[in-house]
A and B are shown apart, each in its own frame.
Chain A
Amino acid sequence: MKFAMYFMGEYVAMNTASAVIITMIFGGYQIPWVSTEMLQENFSIFAISIMLIMPIIVSILIRWMQKNNTVRPSVATDDGRNFETKVLTIVMIGMTLLVEAILIYLAFLTDSALANSLAITLFQIAVFVVKLMMFNMFFILIRWTVPRFRYDQVQKLGWYYLLPLSLFNLAITAIIIVGVTS
């Protein structure tokens, strides 16, 4: 348990780092090039695209589950996983139907701005979580690829290449800002 706490701390740190990176650099809870106001103004387009995309994602997930949540064919003893797949399929389809129903209600049957904002907020939370997971995945991929980096190489990379690059970036930004504003 002590080791589990230590290891979990490692992953909590990873999540925090991802969250900070996303908030600072990768647009937080927004989808790229789409602002909250745009979503609110074009709510029916937003709702319809969600209604179209969600079944596609869910069907991909279900197909993945049917293919992979099985015991190897050579050991045909276990029905527990088939049962699990069945239950999860029903749950996922039910959830999709629920979301679709809510979206249809919001988009066509009511025009309460508050409800629309709430739906958009929930969607943006989901966007943030997806981004967070993508960054965690990226962290893990790097860890798998370079499990033991050489510290001198990291130092060299930082001091010789990344620091000059960021200074260069600073200079360019300054020139552009001064050039544009003056």
Chain B
Amino acid sequence: MSIKVTKRHGHSFRDKLYLPAIYDGVKVTFKHLFHNVTNINEVDTLRYPEEQPTDITSRWRGLHRLTHRADDSVACVACFMCATACPSNCIFIEATEREDGHDEKMPASFFIDTLECVFCGYCVEACPCDAIRMDTGIFSLTGNKREDFVMDKEQLLSHKGAYGEEISCARD
């Protein structure tokens, strides 16, 4: 069996001078620069915000929403599973008794501090009622003060799912 010998580079005089190689590199860089400057619309950079991303898939974790039941009432049963699973402890739920005959409990208030949220999606996986989802496709969240980023129950309920299936699959 013969031994395979790999030829090493960098020992010729030209290689040791470095400058010829740098010159070749500059030529390549300049070619790209010239092409990109003269054909700006061919550059694969998104001209945000005029252009919006088109490659957000249904599995992508965007801003949260709380789903509804068929009669538009909140699907959440305030079981605190999501708040327990949340690694950044940013879900704050207050439970109250439910009077409309669906279940025993519902959230009186439901806050998610999106500044602390790491968008891990554990809350979605923990929920037994398919009541919380991250399929809104909302990727940019702006506000003037920190309080603007704490989503309350009404805001979370008002978010629409971006990929159909408006109501909860587990509660009707």
Contacts and interface: CB of A to CB of B under 8 A. Distances in A.
B13 to A, nearest CB: 10
B7 to A, nearest CB: 20
Given A141-B30, A142-B26, A144-B29, A72 B18 contact: no
Contacts of B37: 68
Contacts of A64: 38
B50 A77 contact: yes
* Chain A interface main SS type: helix
Interface residues of B, number: 19
Interface in B35-61: 37-41, 47, 50-51
A136 interface: no
Contacts of B50: 71, 75, 77-78
A115 interface: no
A145 to B, nearest CB: 4
B41 A146 contact: no
Interface in B2-40: 16-19, 22, 25-26, 28-30, 33, 37-40
A74 B28 CA distance: 29
Interface of B: 16-19, 22, 25-26, 28-30, 33, 37-41, 47, 50-51
